[in-house]
Amino acid sequence: MEENSRLERLVEAGKAVIPPLTLLSALLFYFGYVSARSQYEYFGVDVDTIGLGTQDYIMRSPQPLLTPLLVFAAAGAGSVAVHSAVRRRIHPAASARTVRRMRRLGRGGQVAGLACLAGGLLLLLGYLILRDWRLYGLVTPLLIAAGCTLSGAGSALGRLLRPPVPATPFRRTSTALVYLVVAVSAFWMTATVAQWSGRGLAMDQANRLGKLPSVILDTKESLFLRSPGIQETKLPPSEGQTFHYRYRHLRLLIHGKDRMFLVADNWSASNSTIIVPLDGSVRVQFQFQNQPP
């Protein structure tokens, strides 16, 4: 109960410094940005050149956050259930055998937590060597968070089995640091999942480019496009005609603030993304889908 009250005081102090709505908006924006950056990086586009706004990134955040939120919710519900079960077994009339089991459980949690924490710290120290490992951004914070959680739970269980003593400043500081490390590790894991989610969306999109809006592009000069499959046609000259070339088999990847990003309708490793400014220098037509109404 004492640790819960301390946590509540920390949360209340955080609310006084950063309003919850501002913090939530900042987190949604960040994870939406990480996911979008990874998604369009697959097509060779720096997301900052698209010109998406804050609302656009926030609207993109539910997809990468869905899995982490479900995992964290399940982990929180499981920890509450375990805590309640342990508290029910620890009471003044508990047998000596039960107390010994609880003590062994607490020591086991501490040992397992320290082992996980040591593994996470070793991975952290080996960042320069292991940074290219695909699972590094998930395994490292997971081990650190699990280590701190198990070690803290084991210590808390041990304190429940001893006579209550006043909390020392060192213990309060160490508890706050444990909460901070777990929060940072959860943030790191979620950012990694958001990055993977963005790359997965990009690969799924590349596998189904035919589902994107079909575009016919007219230009004044030849673009000398290299992506295979794009058809270039020279328009017949006529009076007042300023557009001389027509391009087919293009798809709209995304529409930015004042430009469009087009790709070929079939994926190839040699494809490139075309940036088309919406300033009157080009003429764009969007084709109907072939499926009749």
DSSP label of 259? E
Q: Which residue has the higher pLDDT, 26 or 169?
A: 26
Query: What is the average per-residue pLDDT within 144-160?
Result: 82
Residue 219 · residue 247 · CB < 8 Å: yes
Q: Alpha carbon 181 to chain centroid distance?
A: 18
For 32-41, 116-125, 278-287, which range has the lowest pLDDT when averaged over its residues? 278-287
Percentage of the residues of the chain whose pLDDT score is greater than 90: 44
Looking at residue 63, its pLDDT comes to: 86
Query: What is the average per-residue pLDDT within 212-222?
Result: 93
Query: What is the average per-residue pLDDT within 255-270?
Result: 90
Query: What is the average per-residue pLDDT within 10-28?
Result: 68
DSSP label of 72? H
Query: What is the average per-residue pLDDT within 13-38?
Result: 79
Query: What is the average per-residue pLDDT within 50-69?
Result: 89
**Is the pLDDT reported for residue 59 higher than 80?**
yes
Q: What digits encode the pLDDT tens for the residues 106-145?
A: 788 889 989 999 999 999 999 999 988 999 999 999 999 9
Among residues 171, 195, 180, the alpha carbon closest in space to that of 65 is found at: 195
Looking at residue 248, its pLDDT comes to: 93
CA distances 170 to 111, 135, 174, Å, are 21, 35, 6
For 187-227, give the DSSP string: HHHHHHHHHHHHHHHHHHHHHTGGGSPEEEEEESS-----S
CA distance 263 to 214: 10
Looking at residue 167, its pLDDT comes to: 62
Average pLDDT, the chain: 84
Question: Where residue 1 falls among pLDDT bands split at 50, 70, 90?
Answer: very low
Please state whether the predicted TM-score (pTM) of the whole model is above 0.85: no
Looking at residue 8, its pLDDT comes to: 57
Q: Alpha carbon 215 to chain centroid distance?
A: 31
**Is the pLDDT reported for residue 202 higher than 90?**
yes
**Is the pLDDT reported for residue 15 higher than 70?**
no
For tokens 């309708």, what's the residue? 265
Query: What is the average per-residue pLDDT within 216-245?
Result: 90
Looking at residue 284, its pLDDT comes to: 92
CA distance 87 to 167: 20
Looking at residue 197, its pLDDT comes to: 94
